[in-house]
Structure 1
Amino acid sequence: MDYVSRVPAPPLDRFVDDLYCLTGVPRHRRITVPPMPSAHLFLNLGEPFLLRDSDSSKPVVPVVDGLVAGVWTRRFLVEYPSAVRLVGAHFKPWGISPFAGVAARELRDRWVPADAVWPRSVDRIRDRLGELTSAAEMLRVVEDELRSTRGEGPPRGLDLVQHTGGRLAAAGGTIPVEALSGSAGVSVNHLAAQFKAHVGLTPKRVARIYRFAGLILSVDARGPVDWPGLAHTAGYFDQAHLSREFKDFTGHTPTEYLALRRRIPAEREFPPDRGPMPAE
């Protein structure tokens, strides 16, 4: 399966980490996605695929055309068809706020039809994508549409969330919330309220996700892994703390995760496989 991505040009890069195109025959039909610091746009141009919540009480969601999702605090599973044709965007945790017609808290841990967020826009995007075969052309279309969809000015409080969220990202989630609010000259409660408005989560929860993302992306399953050292670098109290977080986020212990990665290696040059993992 081919994965092509690129960072959009300014000012869209303030809100979107990357745009991507995924096409071809998947090596792994079922992929588990742990919580990562991203909101999502899925535009499906091929056969429907399925999204399964790790909360088994939630219904399975078929993706026929387009979906938008906020930041997820628990893992979910993607079940691909035999051939994939998908275009998407990984928004920064706060990045979907200027584009969405619904509150961020309504998108947390949820998949919402894209036309509920951008009325009439999804059909237009799909019409423009049409029969395009070039990944570069498809990404250009999505970038153009996102530029036209964004509001004229940032919603109130978004600049604060972007600034402090950017510091969290750069530090891998290791900055205490009190230090973030102090340096920004606002109270902890005010900062939390703005994060809830624009991300749907508190800054402490966002920091937790950034910390885990930094950890899992640093794991190289091809050799020995120094879990105590990684726990210290990522800002965990100790290895036991890391193990609890790992189990909560992936459904596996660190040892089980390594065994899975070594038994089913990630696809070469397929970046999503560094966080998401094959499901058995």
Structure 2
Amino acid sequence: MPNGEASIVFNLREEPIRLYDSENRARFESYGAAVFSGPRTRPFVIDSSQQERVFGIQFRPGGSWPFFAPPLSEFANLSISLNDLWQGGAGELREQLLAAREPATMFAVAEQCLLRAMRRDEGMHPAVGYALQRLAWDSSTLLEVSKAIGLSQRRFSDLFRHQVGLSPKAFHRLSRFQRVLAQVHGQTAVNWTAVAHECGYYDQPHFNHDFREFSGFSPGDYLSRATEHRNHVPLD
């Protein structure tokens, strides 16, 4: 399920990575041995049999921005072969990961590769960093955040999209949804009305709409399928 973060995944087995359409699992895209997935607002389906041996890099919101030349908004709800983005560098990194004997070595190899791949020396714009904290962890409205920043809403939205990949509104909605998942994780019985209120939803219909849009399930159906990984649930 989407969380507003980008990720890189290497399949360390000898088969291409496939991502399936959540609404039609007969449709899929193949990405070779490594894929970059941009920040999403929609769920997608993976084949769990392909997760036998993988290496992943999960970026914090906006964290992948320094490593790719285009604005992150161009990757929203998209997955792209990492080899296409790094012009062959993904294959070299995969070989080094395969040669590494210990997880700690694999992490060190990946870290050095990311440092070499950095396209930008400047950090995240202070306004974007501030907004990420406010929108992710409290009930601030977009208007309150933009007023505190001192930028016009259009300028703020453009900066945010460029570095995070999603609009501030979409990220705010996703963050609220993720707060719900964090609150109910591990529970077997939930008062959904109370959870919706505590997480900042104005009414139950808005809560139900967002939950189904981001997860593909009703709240009750999600709870019946929940696993130890709050953003991953089995379909069958």
TM-score (norm 2): 0.90
Correspondent of 1:137 among 105, 122, 147: 105
Q: 1:236 Cα shift? A: 0.6
Q: Note if 1:245 corresponds to 2:210.
A: yes
* Secondary structure of residue in 2 paired with 1:41: strand
Q: Note if 1:193 corresponds to 2:161.
A: no
Q: Which runs of 5+ in 2 are unaligned?
A: none
Q: 1:82 Cα shift? A: 6.1
**Structure 2 counterpart of 1:208:** 173
**Structure 2 counterpart of 1:218:** 183
CA contact under 8 A between 2:180 and 2:199: conserved in structure 1?
yes
Q: 1:277 Cα shift? A: 0.9
Q: Note if 1:39 corresponds to 2:3.
A: no
CA distance in 1, matches of 2:154, 2:38: 22
* Secondary structure of residue in 1 paired with 2:116: helix
- Deviates further, 249-258 or 215-224: 215-224
Moved over 4 A (4+): none
Q: Which runs of 5+ in 1 are unaligned?
A: 1-33, 268-272
Q: 1:162 Cα shift? A: 2.2
CA contact under 8 A between 1:35 and 1:249: conserved in structure 2?
yes
CA contact under 8 A between 2:4 and 2:166: conserved in structure 1?
no
Q: Deviations over 1:211-240 (max 9, x none)?
A: 111111211454321211211111111222
More helix by share: 2
More strand by share: 1
Q: Note if 1:161 corresponds to 2:122.
A: no
Q: How many residue pairs were aligned?
A: 235
CA distance in 2, matches of 1:260, 1:216: 13
RMSD in angstroms over aligned alpha carbons?
2.2
User: Alpha carbons of 1:231 and 1:79: their partners in 2 closer, same or farther (altered >3 Å)?
Assistant: same
Q: 1:127 Cα shift? A: 2.3
**Identity of counterpart residues, as a percentage?**
27
Q: Deviations over 1:239-273 (max 9, x none)?
A: 22211111111121112222223xxxx24xxxxx1
Q: Note if 1:107 corresponds to 2:75.
A: yes
**Structure 2 counterpart of 1:260:** 225
**Structure 2 counterpart of 1:116:** 84
Q: 1:132 Cα shift? A: 2.4
* Secondary structure of residue in 1 paired with 2:62: coil
Q: Note if 1:125 corresponds to 2:93.
A: yes
Q: Deviations over 1:17-42 (max 9, x none)?
A: xxxxxxxxxxxxxxxxx111211111
User: Alpha carbons of 1:55 and 1:162: their partners in 2 closer, same or farther (altered >3 Å)?
Assistant: farther
**Structure 2 counterpart of 1:227:** 192
